[in-house]
Structure 1
């Protein structure tokens, strides 16, 4: 996913770049106003300050920063953090960097069953 400022120049660049390659419905690009104006401020300090059990693995800071940068609402962040931590705590003795596709598939099968 990429974010581009909503300007006439950027719209022209997108249209020129993808002309003949992809169909673009750019009706929403022409509206230069926020879609949601009542979103609460993104704040994930609640996550960093919360107390957890000693053996519980927390989401990596990089994951939290990604959620902040994407400007997800707090309820979405809570959900994503909850389920990501549920996943990584299924493999408490495996380094996060070594979790692979087979671990993900096994976890998904566990959820299905």
Structure 2
């Protein structure tokens, strides 16, 4: 980070590590993909819960054929609730994580420098 530049550098491996640019770019790419894992977990949970609601709704519809319209309505309501919970979780994650991201990256850099004796 240059002193005249007010904007923080969000690269995990910056120029202070004295690594070749290609290697630093590959390590940074792995780091950025790792930072996206919470969103992947939220989306995987969303899709699995949708599938589970479908399976449970179909099982209840088979067990109680007279209540087919009620089970469809309940399953649709549960799906809507799951989508709303996933959307709220993503919103909270997007609004709370960015202020901490530069500090977190600085902590990771400091620990990597200790581990690799840079």
TM-score normalised by the chain length of structure 2: 0.27
Higher share of residues assigned helix: 2
Larger Rg: 2
TM-score normalised by the chain length of structure 1: 0.28
Which has the bigger relative contact order, CA under 8 A and spacing at least 6?
2
